[in-house]
Amino acid sequence: MRLVLDTSALFSMRDLPLDAEIYTTPGVISELERYGDSRARYWEHALRTSDPVSDSLRMIKKAAEKTGDISRLSQTDLEVLALAKDLGATILTDDYSIQNLARYLGIEYKAVGLVGIKRLVKWKLRCTGCGRTWEERHPECPVCGSPLRTSRSRK
């Protein structure tokens, strides 16, 4: 069994089977270091660090644009998804946006400390000023210039 861990899985330190091949990305390790967290050190004997293939990362980003998760996922999150795709691995994560995109792509995932998502969600951007919605990302509303927020699509 192959597992790819995101930062939340390492924060949780639950459900990490010792007989699995356990992977993560350099970005996850950097996030832990940025928070001054040393949990990865406890797993360094079993934890393999790898970057995803660039083609996989591009495909993950395209899919994230389709679901609207692109504005909710960090570069590290996208790399975790791409690595799981490359390895045919299950992602351990409590991040709902990672779970959402994984479900959309057919990548197996497992929640670690929280209850996982129940269904796939498509996101859109809604203007806080005029209320118009947009499928694509904009730095601000193209109509009135107000900030955009993500919200669930009713489609």
For the chain, 155 residues long, the average pLDDT of each consecutive 10-residue run is 90 73 92 80 80 95 88 93 97 91 94 71 81 81 88 63
pLDDT at 124: 76
User: What is the pLDDT, as a whole number, of residue 136?
Assistant: 74
For residues 101 and 37, state if they share a domain: yes
At 117 the pLDDT is 65
CA distance readout (Å), 98 to 57, 139, 151: 14, 23, 16
Domain containing 129 equals 123-152
Per the domain annotation, does 84 fall within a domain? yes
Residue 76 lies inside a defined structural domain of this protein: yes
> What is the structure's pLDDT at 116?
65
pLDDT at 24: 94
Residues in the chain: 155
Total number of domains constituting the chain:
2
